[in-house]
Structure 1
Amino acid sequence: MGVALRPLLAEYKETPGWEGLGGVAAVDAFNALYQFLSGIRQADGAPLMDGEGRITSHLSGLLFRNANLIEKNITPVYVFDGKPPAFKSSTLAKRREVREHAADSWEKALKEGDEESARKYAMASSKVDAFVIDSAKELLSALGIAWVQAPEEGEAQSSYMAQQGDVTYAVSQDYDSLLFGAPELVRNITVSGKKRFRGKVLSVYPERLNLEAVLTGLSLTREELVQTALLIGTDYNSGVPGVGPKTAVKIVREGTFYDRIGESENAADPDQLIHYFLDPPVETSYNIENRSPDPDRVIDLLCGKHGFTQERVEAGLERFGAKKGQATLDAWF
């Protein structure tokens, strides 16, 4: 879910247009997979599945959304979460409860013939499990798209790679990447161009946030931005009751962070959390070399193993510049 910094960041968001986003993008893999699993569904909310009942919505998303990025001169590198830090356990437990409740509500809505509610609850029940992760990595490798395994938080790893200049920017729907020090965060590039909100269909455009511009505009250091987030509440702590974004900034500027953070119901040590954001565990040895797609391998995986129609997969591969039986695709890059 990330931290609720949106009200503070609105005036610093840029809408660069696709032509301004060329480069190498470190994509928060779990974030993207949840988007595919929740958004790519049938009318009643059921996910796409193969003949054996295995979910394939994420595989469809990875093929066609990545084709879209490649066409726009964006080279994605997917970064997968590792083991979550111990102080995230409470948040993860709450998310499991929400998913389980949504799954029960989805089943109930289906029985009642309420298709609109069924789809809403189905989207909220989406889960990234071992099969989703392993099959996603398998398809990315077949497509020649690099992926990196983070030791813990994927957003921390993406931010580190951006700091090192190995990628152009970090990609996530959440704002945590700024807390982890990503020089640039881009949102909305792995989602479709439309989304439903309160019964309406809205257009979605890429957004870019520059960390230096945010810190300068808010008159905060990065550590103070982290303190602001902790007062509001993050995936690692519950925040201080009654403290919203603007009040949190005021508290930090007044130098009373440590006085107020003690009012939080969460027992996590604030200094430990600050240190985690400023210096998180990351993998410093990684390979993000891009390769040509292997069309035969992609077709074997998607069509042979998961029942995709070959015509549809070949159409997707053509957008990568790849065709069945074609061994080298150096022109892709």
Structure 2
Amino acid sequence: MGVNLRELIPPEARREVELRALSGYVLALDAYNMLYQFLTAIRQPDGTPLMDREGRVTSHLSGLFYRTINLVEEGIKPVYVFDGKPPEMKSREVEERLRRKAEAEARYRRAVEAGEVEEARKYAMMAARLTSDMVEESKELLDAMGMPWVQAPAEGEAQAAYMARKGDAWATGSQDYDSLLFGSPRLVRNLAITGRRKLPGRDQYVEIKPEIIELEPLLSKLGITREQLIAVGILLGTDYNPGGVRGYGPKTALRLVKSLGDPMKVLASVPRGEYDPDYLRKVHEYFLNPPVTDDYKIEFRKPDQDKVREILVERHDFNPERVERALERLAKAYREKLRGRQSRLDMWFG
């Protein structure tokens, strides 16, 4: 789930933009986060994911293919960053996610048997699983589309933030706020769900736009440093200390951090309960110095249309006509927006 900083982000540090406002920028996207959003959102009315004739889930491939084309048509240069081995500190969160998914699957089956379509859809979305086969096939599809991807040694968001700090990307792209703790200068949210979307459980639609959050204006407005922001995040709860420290909400966490100043004093001051202060200091250090790699190359290549057809149409029964139309759009976007173009790494707004 990541850390929830939503309540602490002031209007001065975030703004909604049109998708085309990101034209020319390289965005380092949290691949797992994007794929999970596709698996969750791209479903049939009863919550069943898209599948081929052999029963293999294809929602992630559909989202990855069509959404990536939408992005590059706007001139955006997406680089998908995939998670590596999760740190040992994340084991509890991973186990809890598996437990929640198993519970959601059981509730989904009961809802289907009872004919409760809306309930079935809700629990089916909660039960979405991203398998290693899905990940590998997503990489294969990106290769065929000519899109670059990066394999992180550990957390994808940490790697994406590192790329943004280096200037190899303008921003990270994710729904989670963790990349801000990892030091990304900018975070772009809503890239996987931009457009008209139905509100869960309601016959109502809203228009969702990309949202840019800038780290420095956020820190300046809050009057804290990045190291202190990490301490706030730890008090609220991260993937490495789920649930956070009991009794601390966003405002109380911020007050304590600003009062004590030194993040180490903040973490030492929390009552010895579920998490030992020494462990929390390790979490803080991980956000400052996560495992990352320089072994990557950002290069946009001419799409291999035959390979895309083989993956989507021949292997997974995608509609041939729709894939052909999308491939024409991808080829045009490559010629006009990607081939030989320099990336914009300047500030879009100052």
Question: What is the aligned-residue identity percentage?
Answer: 46
Query: Take 1:322 and 1:57, find their aligned partners in 2: how far apart are those partners?
Result: 25
CA deviations on 1:224-274 (whole Å, 9 max, x unpaired) are 000000111111013111200111010011115134334451246122111
- Cα-Cα RMSD: 1.5
Between the aligned partners of 2:82 and 2:332, the Cα distance in structure 1 is 26
Q: Give the 3-state SS of the residue equivalent to 2:15 in structure 1.
A: coil
CA distances 1:117-173 after superposition (whole Å, capped 9, x unpaired): 000000000011111101101101100010000000000000000011111110000
Residue number in structure 1 paired with 2:240:
236
Q: 1:278 aligns with which of 279, 285, 288?
A: 288
Which runs of structure 2 are paired with 1:122-161 in the superposition (5 Å)? Answer: 122-161=124-163
Taking structure 1 as the reference length, the TM-score comes to 0.95
Q: For structure 1, list consecutive stretches of 5 or more residues without a partner in the other structure.
A: 324-328
Q: 1:189 aligns with which of 182, 188, 191?
A: 191
TM-score (norm 2): 0.90
Aligned residue for 2:3? 3
- Counterpart contact for 1:232–1:240, Cα < 8 Å: yes
C-alpha distance in 1 between matches for 2:72 and 2:285: 36
Q: Distance in 2 between matches of 1:258 and 1:296?
A: 55
Q: Which residue of 1 aligns with 2:274?
A: 265
Tell me what 1:34 maps to. Answer: 36
Counterparts in 2 of 1:67 and 1:112: CA distance versus 1, 3 Å: same
Where does residue 326 of structure 1 map in the other structure? none
1:197-221, CA deviations, whole angstroms, 9 ceiling, x for partnerless residues?
4524322111001101111011111
Alignment-derived partner of residue 250 in structure 1: 255
Residue 49 of structure 1 is matched in structure 2 by: 51
Aligned pair count reads 328
User: Which residue number in structure 2 is paired with residue 207 of structure 1?
Assistant: 211
Determine if contact 2:75/2:337 at 8 Å carries over to the other structure: no
**Stretches of structure 2 lacking an aligned partner (at least 5 in a row):** 339-350
Q: Does the aligned pair in 2 maintain the 1:293–1:322 contact within 8 Å?
A: no
Counterpart secondary structure, 1:269 = helix
Moved more, 229-238 or 146-155: 229-238
1:292·1:332 contact (CA, 8 Å) conserved in 2?
no
Query: How far off its partner does 1:20 sit?
Result: 1.9
CA contact (8 A) 2:161 2:179 kept: yes
Q: For the residues of structure 1 that align with 2:10 and 2:206, how far apart are their CA atoms?
A: 18
Q: Is the 8 A contact 2:231 2:267 kept in 1?
A: no
Amino acid aligned to 1:44: D
The range that moved more, 281-290 or 32-41, is: 281-290
Output the CA distance in 2 between the equivalents of 1:18 and 1:332: 14
1:295·1:322 contact (CA, 8 Å) conserved in 2?
no
In structure 2, give the amino acid aligned to 1:139: L
